[in-house]
Structure 1
Amino acid sequence: MSWKRWRWALLTPRKQLATLKRRQGCALAAFFYYPTLLLDDVLLMEKIMSAQISLRLATQDDLATILSFIKGLAEYEKLSDQVVADEEKLRETLFGSKAYAEVVIAEYLQQAAGFALFFHNYSTFLAKPGIYLEDLFVLPAFRGKGLGKLLLSYLAKLAVERNCGRLEWSVLDWNQPAIDFYQSQGAQLLHDWRINRLTGQQLVALAQQYPTS
């Protein structure tokens, strides 16, 4: 590998972007100057630099947007019948006195186009916190523009900054496009693990088995 490639590989993403803006003015030109870059990464940088794509933390003013994204994801996953969330419940659990999760909104040309909802978990093996990605969704009209990759890379960056040991999420086994995308970003599918869940009456029934005195 040439010294230029080594120097580029050692830069943080923010410094890479600053270098591209300073030296080339156009991210696409960097593809020829820095051959280690993937074309998709270059095009994504170009969109960011031209202010087409941006990320921001959600606020209470985004409740309707967040709910619409949740319903959009549920529809895509064929799980709309399971959605009981409403704006008031989201307000209480996301922006109340105790926030149970965080939300990042992705915008394309200043229009809300996708989101990521996540929270911290914990690894006893690593003795470190982790980030669990509950929802990642981009509206159909904005897919293929790099929003999903930007959201995922932001969460990875956040995990590193918060000294987390893991970034984890689940994916439906029939959702091959999502599986392919995640694996292209370096994610591992954990075939030996199965999700266990208690909800509704099953959750209440088990809770009632705990002795009260």
Structure 2
Amino acid sequence: MNTIIKIKQVTVRFKRKNALEKIDCQINRGEVVGLVGPNGAGKTTLMKTILGFIPISAGEIAHQQIKMASLIEQPGLYPFMTGMEHLKMLAEKQTTQVEIDRLIHLLDLTDFINQKTKEYSLGMKQRLGIAIGLLNNPDLIILDEPMNGLDPYSVKLLKKAILTYSETGTSFLISSHILSELKQIVNRVLLMKAGHLVENVVHPELLEDFEDGLLAKLA
């Protein structure tokens, strides 16, 4: 399996406290990896460290020359621009209108894509944010609690988009504190607690079988 990013003994220290402690894991091409743990477990810190937003205190993150995209918290949108204007502004030269239209269809943005984003609901903003993340065909997209506050239809569309792009080689790292949100779409789950990686479980049947055991490790 083609590994696109490898995290080796990564520690992140804030003042005198370790936010991450000797994290070892990897992400493979086309893999959907769930990052599960309670609030404060270190999930967002790990994601921001992978993206280069937070410096590493010890260890190493090794990867090929890959293109990364992310949606951390809510997408940063310009309220007086439409969704289409966002997509066209952020599209790279090689990204065609056909590819933009594909994303609009996949995430069912058609009805509001030409509205100003100040008029968008949370679900509409999140769906546009996912479209922006996928826009230029990244190798890895990092999503922090992407299903928070979404209606069931938006969750369904998000899952469909993740599975569609993973089949063509895009990798995903998706955080959640709810395993049941992820187990239908992930290949693997990384379980975090208090800055430590406490479990690495491979899907499919194992997630169902070990769900209670995994959650017990967080107690």
Superposed pair shares fold, TM > 0.5: no
> Which structure would you say has the larger RCO, counting Cα contacts within 8 Å and 6 or more residues apart?
2
Q: Larger radius of gyration, structure 1 or 2?
A: 1
Give the TM-score, by structure 1 length.
0.35
Name the structure with the higher helix share.
Answer: 1
Higher strand proportion, which one? 2
